Structure 1
């Protein structure tokens, strides 16, 4: 028994040594790959070249379960959604983006159109973009700085929001999505109570009045629920027209009544 225990101990020691050796070899291979010199290649026909430590690693490690976020610089709402999508991905798979430069490198590759051209001109030095010298916050701050003057952005976005109205033929849920999208263009936070009042004021009168008559919604979840219910109570169909079914039922019930039968048969 003692001999068997000793053999098992030696076997475990050898297995542990083998695992350590394999891990060291794997680490060394990764270091060699990171130390490789960059290969000169075009980047979307632009004169910019990325640090290989960023692009080769980041693009290979892109998690397949996430949709690829993109940003073209045309909307404040799209910018907020772009940053949010990326930060969620970085949070859920932190091991894929262990350093700031990898986040910046990946996000840079998701820029499109004029925004990418501006970024290359800003961050490029001698035809190369030095991602390793930048933090994620540097990148985010630069993106926000590219938007129009904040005061101008506020006035334009608020003007559009105040002029927005639900139209005939537009369902409550579709209009709700449209209104929330426009609200996202406003760069400052609007208190929920004020936002709800603005939204209610923009609804079709019959829906607004029914919502308010029941109970004034105190949050967006309540508002969405009450608005959907109001639309059902009012009997609107998918084209926002009053449903014909109730009148049809009344005609059928009248046709089955005794007085209706007498009229058809000629009796009074």
Structure 2
């Protein structure tokens, strides 16, 4: 990407580091899409990584490549955002299953699930972040254990363990996903797609065709209607909260006036 592209994106002339970051945005987006679930989350992660890297540019000393440095920033941001979700598999529980000589799965079912990109992503969502990211980096992006260890600042043994556990977790998740799909057979839309649109539906801004599809999903899905009803109830309750006293307390008014006056003084006359 030439310097003109950087200036078009940022409105500023490029220095060497800024130019390098700009050139690596497509690579960052690929990386982000492997670490997150959903296009918007990946876009946000790339944006925040660029912002954080520009804020921390003084810490870049060239000991690693700009790409490696940016990946570490993105990884740390992704870790900070990851939370234990209710649908995530418990590592110890799955490992206990695999230690049981009687535990097995149907390889045909698992292969069919893995061949469907949407179902594979749904299963990946259920893996705790550190295992999901390790197995995706190794098996999807082709990183070696040593590269994963270097980028994530962990030992090679730890990287191998995370990949190994991630594969076990993914296999079990795919097997369980098949059962969930059977329970949802005939339901229009995926649950996550429906839940993403509920906000617009509540606000009355969802286009009619999408609204009809969402309503069909809610009519058949066994899990989404309670969530929707709860959202309606919580939204309605928030609408009842009103503060009839809108008079600004004198102490607050004084503080606000002082803050505004101070800002004006710092700007100087005519600014």
**TM-score per shorter chain, which class?**
under 0.3
Q: TM-score, normalised by structure 1?
A: 0.22
Higher helix share: 2
The structure that has the greater radius of gyration is 1
* Larger RCO (CA under 8 A, 6+ residues apart): 1
Q: TM-score, normalised by structure 2?
A: 0.22
